[in-house]
Amino acid sequence: MILDKHNLDRQWLFSLGATHLLFDPLAKRAERILVDLPHDFSIIQKRDPNAPSGPRTGYFPGGIATYEKTIFIPESWKGKKVILEFEGVYMNAVVHFNNNIVAKHPYGYTGFHCDLTPYLLYGRENRIRVFVNNSAEPNSRWYSGSGIYRHVWLLVGESVHIPPWGVYVTTPKVSPEASTVSVRTTVENSGQEMAHVTVRTTLQTASGSEVARREDELNVPAGSSVETAQELNVDSPKLWSVDNPYLYVLRSEIIRDGVVVDRTDTKVGIRSISFDAHSGFRLNGVPIKLRGGCVHHDCGLLGAAAYDRAEERKVELLKANGFNAVRCAHNPPSPTFLDACDRLGMLVIDEIFDCWREAKNPNDYSLYFEDWWQRDLASMILRDRNHPCIIMWSIGNEIPELTGFSEGYTYARKLADFIRSLDNTRAITCALTEFSLRPLIAEGFGLERRIPDDLWIEHSSKFAEPLDVVGYNYMLHRYDSDGKNFPGRIICGTESFPSMAYDYWEAVERLPYVIGDFVWTAIDYLGEAGIGRVRYEGEDPSFLGNYPWHQAFCGDIDICGFKRPQSYYRDCVWGISKAPYIAVHKPENYGKKTRALLWSWPEVVSSWTWPGYEGKPILIDVYSANSEVELFINGRSLG
C-alpha cells in the first residue's frame, strides 16, 4: 500500500505495571507518562542482581506495560482500507482498537498488521491500546528489551490497493550487458464489486530517470486478491555489489478509471548470487569470501529501541572495520537495519529463531512455535525478500532438535520448504553446533570434549538434508574432515571464537567449500553478561559474569562503537591493517595464568605509560600483517 503512510511514533501514554483495567476494574491506575517510540522499558529500569533472567539479560528486568494513543479518523476515510503496522513489540502483544482486540502477537521480533477498517469511528478520536507482557522470565538468552521498540505506522489506502508486502521483486537474469527484473504484484479488492484495474510497474534510476515500464490489465473480484507477473528488461544495468551498492526504484501503481488509486515504491538491487562447493559464494559471478560478524538487535546504551540513526550506524561501523557480511542473531532485524545494509553494501544472513519445540529457557518461543512458526516465518520472508543485501535465510540457531528428537528432521524440512514456497532465490542455512548432540552422550560430557564423529555425521547429514549451506558454530576442527565426509557440502562458519580469528580465517581462505566466517560477535551487546571477560586461575570460573556485569564484552567493536584490540588483530588477519598495533597487558596481571579465552581477548590496552610500575616487567603484544616488526621503547630497540 500505500498512498498514505502515517508515522505513529509520537506521544503515546505509557504505564509500567499491570494497568489493564479489564483485568481488575478496581485496581489503581499506574502513573502514565508521555513517551515517543521506539521505546524500551527495560533499559530505563534499575538493574537488579536478583533479576529473574540474571546475567542472560544483563540483570535488567522485564515486566508488563501498556501503551495508549488516540488518532482522529476523518469522514473522508469512509470506504478506505486502514491498517496498523507494528515493526516489533517485545513481547506477547495484545492490540486493542476502540476496545476491540485486533491482534495478538507473541513473538517479539517479527512485524505484524492489524486491520482497523471494521472498527473505525469516523469524524472522531479513536483509541489504540497495546498491552505488552514480558513478565514471564527467563525467556531469552540475551538482552531482549521490552515494549514497542520499533516503529508503528498507519497505512491508509483505497478499497483497491496493494497490500503490505504485496510487491515481490527478483532478478532472474543478471549480466552487465542486460538483466531482467521480475515483479509479482498482489492487488487486493476489499470493496463490494469487481474492479477492473491497470497495474503499471516502472523501474527508475536513483535520480528518477525511467529505465523500463510495463502495464497489464487485471480484474479483481470483490473481497478477493489477484497476483500479476511482469518482466522488465534492463540494458547495461548498474549491478548491486558490496563495493557499489547501486539501488534502482521500482514504482508500482494501480490505476482505476484513469486514476492512480495506489502507489508504492520498492528499492531494487540488480545482482546474482550462487553457492557451490567448488567456487564457494559468488556475487555477480565473482567469488567472494564472507568477512562476517554476528550482531544482536540491541543498540548498546540505548537498549533495544531501534532508532534509525543507531541502526544505520551499526552498519557503518561494520563496514568501516572491514566486514562485508553480517548475521542477524538470532532473529529478524529492524527494517531500518536492512535498508542500511542495502544502501551501504553489507551482505546479510537473515535468521528467524533461536529455538523450535525444544526450550532453551522455561518461557521462550518454544511455547508458541508449533502454532506460530509459519506465520512468523512468513512475516520475515515477505517483509525482507526484496532486499538485495540478503543472501541467506537461516531457519535457526543451535537448534536442540539436531538430535532428531521432537521431529527435528521433519521440522527442518518443513521450514526450508515453506521458505522456498515464498522465495526460492536465496540459500537456506541453519547454524548448527555439535554440542546439541550432548543428550545422546553419557552424563558428564563437558564442553572440553568433542562429539564422536559417527554421531555428528549421522545426525548432521539428516538434519542438513534440506539446507543449501550448513552453518558451523565453533567447529573449526571439522572443516577439513567434513570436506571428505560430505562431498559437496557448503560450510559457513556462522559463529567463531575471537581468540581463534587467525585459525578460522586461514581455513576459510584455504578451503573453497568454506564460504566465510562470522565472529561472535562483531559488535558488543547487552546480556550474556561477561561471556567475554578474562578469567584468571583461582577466580570464579562461571560461564557468565556476576552482577554488576551487563554487557557480553566479546565484540570486536564495543557497545559505544569503538574498536577493541581484537578488531586491530582482525585487521591484520584480513590483510587490511595499515600499521602495527601495540597491545600492552595490564602490569598488575603480569604472571597470572588465564583460563581458556574462547570468547575473551587478553586484557590489553593501547597505552604504555604506567606510573608506579617503573622497572617492573610488562608483557607487550604487537599485531602486524608484516613478516617482521621492530619494537622501540624510548628510542631503544627491544628487537
Give yes or no for a contact between 377 and 229, defined as CB atoms under 8 angstroms apart.
no
pLDDT in tens, 126-175: 999 999 999 999 999 999 999 999 999 999 999 999 999 999 999 999 99
Cβ contacts of 202-211, under 8 Å, gap ≥ 24: 202/250, 202/251, 202/253, 203/232, 203/234, 203/248, 203/249, 203/250, 203/251, 203/268, 204/248, 204/249, 204/250, 204/251, 205/248, 205/249, 206/246, 206/247, 206/248, 206/249, 208/249, 211/248
H or E element in which residue 505 lies: helix 501-510
Strand pairing category for 427-432 and 470-473: parallel
pLDDT of 443 over the 70 cut: no
Give yes or no for a contact between 511 and 535, defined as CB atoms under 8 angstroms apart.
no
CATH number for the domain running over 273-573:
3.20.20.80
pLDDT of 56 over the 70 cut: yes
Residue recorded with cell 498512498: 3
CATH 2.60.40.10 residue window(s) in the chain: 175-268
Give yes or no for a contact between 376 and 110, defined as CB atoms under 8 angstroms apart.
yes
Give me the pLDDT at residue 539, please: 86
Strand pairing category for 390-397 and 347-351: parallel
Sheet holding 248-256, edge to edge: 210-220, 195-204, 248-256, 259-268
Q: Report residue 129 as a C-alpha cell.
A: 491500546
Residue recorded with cell 516503529: 151
Give me the pLDDT at residue 125, please: 98
Cis peptide before 617 (omega within 30 of 0): no
Eight-class DSSP state of 358: S
Least confident of 11-20, 21-30, 224-233, 590-599: 21-30
Residues near 153 by Cβ (< 8 Å), separated by ≥ 6? 5, 6, 7, 8, 84, 85, 87
* Short-list 179, 323, 327, CA closest to 242: 323
Q: Report residue 52 as a C-alpha cell.
A: 529473574
Q: What are phi and psi of 55, to 5 degrees?
A: -70, -20
pLDDT in tens, 345-366: 999 999 999 999 999 999 999 9
Number of C-beta neighbours around residue 398 at 10 A: 22
Considering the segment(s) 4-159 as one domain, its CATH architecture is Sandwich (2.60)
Least confident of 210-214, 415-419, 426-430, 605-609: 605-609
Q: What is the mean pLDDT of the segment spanning 464-469?
A: 98
Bridge partners (DSSP) of residue 589 are: none
Q: What is the mean pLDDT of the segment spanning 505-527?
A: 98
Q: What is the mean pLDDT of the segment spanning 254-268?
A: 96
Give me the pLDDT at residue 272, please: 98
CATH 2.60.120.260 residue window(s) in the chain: 4-159
Q: What is the mean pLDDT of the segment spanning 249-261?
A: 97
Bridge partners (DSSP) of residue 510 are: none
pLDDT in tens, 523-578: 999 999 999 999 998 888 899 999 999 999 999 999 999 999 999 999 999 999 88
Instruction: Find the Cα–Cα–Cα–Cα dihedral 370, 371, 377, 382, rounded to 10°.
Output: 160
3-class DSSP state of 121: coil
% of the chain residues with pLDDT over 90: 90
pLDDT in tens, 164-205: 999 999 999 999 999 999 999 999 999 999 999 999 999 999
CATH 3.20.20.80 residue window(s) in the chain: 273-573
Q: What is the mean pLDDT of the segment spanning 231-237?
A: 98
pLDDT of 3 over the 80 cut: no
Give me the pLDDT at residue 609, please: 85
Give me the pLDDT at residue 455, please: 95
% of the chain residues with pLDDT over 70: 96
Instruction: Kindly write down the DSSP assignment for every residue of 189-258, as one continuous string.
Output: E-SSS-EEEEEEEEEE-TTS-EEEEEEEEEEE-TTEEEEEEEEEEEESPPPB-SS-B--EEEEEEEEETT
pLDDT of 26 over the 80 cut: no
Give yes or no for a contact between 572 and 623, defined as CB atoms under 8 angstroms apart.
yes
- Pairwise CA distance, residues 494 & 329, whole Å: 10
**Cα–chain center distance at 104:** 22
Q: What is the mean pLDDT of the segment spanning 200-220?
A: 97
- Pairwise CA distance, residues 270 & 179, whole Å: 8
Give me the pLDDT at residue 166, please: 97
pLDDT of 27 over the 70 cut: no
Give me the pLDDT at residue 541, please: 86
- Pairwise CA distance, residues 165 & 184, whole Å: 11
pLDDT of 87 over the 90 cut: yes
| Average per-residue pLDDT for the chain | 95
Instruction: Kindly write down the DSSP assignment for every residue of 368-408, as one continuous string.
Output: THHHHHHHHHHHHHHHHTT-TTEEEEEEEES-GGGGSGGGH
Q: What is the mean pLDDT of the segment spanning 242-262?
A: 97
Q: Which CATH class is domain 175-268?
A: mainly beta
Q: Report residue 390 as a C-alpha cell.
A: 540478503
Give me the pLDDT at residue 639, please: 82
- Pairwise CA distance, residues 450 & 23, whole Å: 52
pLDDT of 447 over the 60 cut: no
pLDDT of 441 over the 90 cut: no
- Pairwise CA distance, residues 266 & 314, whole Å: 23
Q: How many CA atoms lie within 13 A of 114 on its CB side?
A: 26
Give the Å distances, CA to CA, from 129 to 21, 60, 394.
Answer: 11, 25, 33
Residue recorded with cell 546439541: 436
For residue 403, the one-letter residue type is: T
pLDDT of 333 over the 60 cut: yes
- Pairwise CA distance, residues 220 & 269, whole Å: 30
Q: For residue 396, is it left (φ>0), alpha (ψ between -120 and 50) or beta?
A: left
Helices (H), 3-156: none
Residues near 509 by Cβ (< 8 Å), separated by ≥ 6? 289
Give me the pLDDT at residue 638, please: 86
